[in-house]
Copies of this chain bind each other. A is one copy, B any other.
Amino acid sequence: MDKSAVLADWIKPNNMPITSSEQFAPSNIALCKYWGKRDKQLNLPMNASLSVSLGHLGTHTRLVPIDYSADEIWLNSDRLLPSSAFCQRISAFLDLFRKPGTCSFRVTTRNSIPTAAGLASSASGFAALAKAVNESFQLELNTEQLSVLARLGSGSACRSVFKGFVEWQMGQREDGLDSHGIQLNAAWPGLCVGLVKVDASVKATDSRSGMQRTVETAHLYQSWPVQAAHDIVLLKEAIAEKDFAKLGQTAEHNALSMHATMIASWPPLVYWQPESLATMQRIWKLRKDGLAVYFTMDAGPNLKLLFEQADLDAVMRYFPDMEVIQPFGHG
């Protein structure tokens, strides 16, 4: 099934943008990871995932209909070449909503993610763009429908449509209309996410082709969806019980297991750098010494630490350059 067929009922007959729109969507960090697609076209996942959105860190996107024959796409303060992969992906997304050749857009994207943070911006970027398209074309979609839209741009973007803790329900339908984020009715004031950047000397494989290689070549991947389903249950329990050790352990175990499926791929897919491993060892040592700090990692060499506000000063002593976010504010 292609994306246009999925959206057929949601697109207005005239297919023309009515207004400009400016929208924001937060970055999100998965505590149970999305890794592997059951449908590459629609970005439908092999497993449910669960994330926390990062408050004010994310992407501001402004969408303005223009008269030119081609889209004009800006990232921070640079105009990008229309032939770039980034522009092609955005224009292809806009094509889902407009009649061919009828209108173009100026898309201005500004990331409030610190450059040093090592966070992917496609999740917040496509979530903000989905919201902007909804307003500009006056599609009047609800948030779960917006989450479906965002997913068609980039899988994990469906979680960035929401604040707080978000579960991406994998869904069962072939058209994926039941595969979208839902916000958990829970907050955790004082929960801290620390971004520890590790320099990569080698260009990493993008996560799209990385997950494909894993699904196709890692025998161990067969057991991944079972683990993810199990971890989702544990994480929801941890959130309901405010059991930080359970939250941290489950998130770290889940992230390491995802990396394990990559390491078991062929050719090997190892996103870790020696410095990533040294940082993990420091965290295990700190934990052994009694500090409740855990980590998660995505398809890259950086670590994202998880701890509570009571330990903020202690953790900062060991990671003084770390950027800290409190997604639910102070505890």
Contacts and interface: CB of A to CB of B under 8 A. Distances in A.
Interface in A243-264: 249, 252-253, 256-257, 259-261, 263-264
A273 interface: yes
Nearest to A281: B202
Nearest to A258: B264
A270 interface: yes
Output the residue of A260, A272, A281 with the most chain B CB within 10 A.
A260
Copies in the complex: 2
A257 B219 contact: yes
Nearest to A219: B227
A78 B74 CA distance: 73
Interface string A267-289: 11010111101101100100000
Given A219-B223, A223-B223, A272 B277 contact: yes
Contacts of A219: 223-224, 226-227, 230, 257
B263 A259 contact: yes
A230 B220 CA distance: 12
A205 interface: no
A280 B264 CA distance: 14
A220 B280 contact: no
A270 B264 contact: no
22 contacts: A218-B257, A219-B226, A219-B227, A219-B230, A219-B257, A220-B220, A220-B227, A220-B260, A220-B264, A221-B223, A222-B222, A222-B223, A223-B223, A249-B266, A252-B268, A253-B268, A256-B263, A256-B264, A256-B268, A259-B263, A274-B281, A277-B277
The 3 A-B pairs at the shortest CB distance, nearest first, are namely: A274-B274, A219-B227, A260-B260
Given A220-B264, A221-B223, A257-B263, 8 more contacts: A219-B227, A253-B268, A260-B261, A260-B264, A263-B263, A267-B284, A268-B284, A274-B278
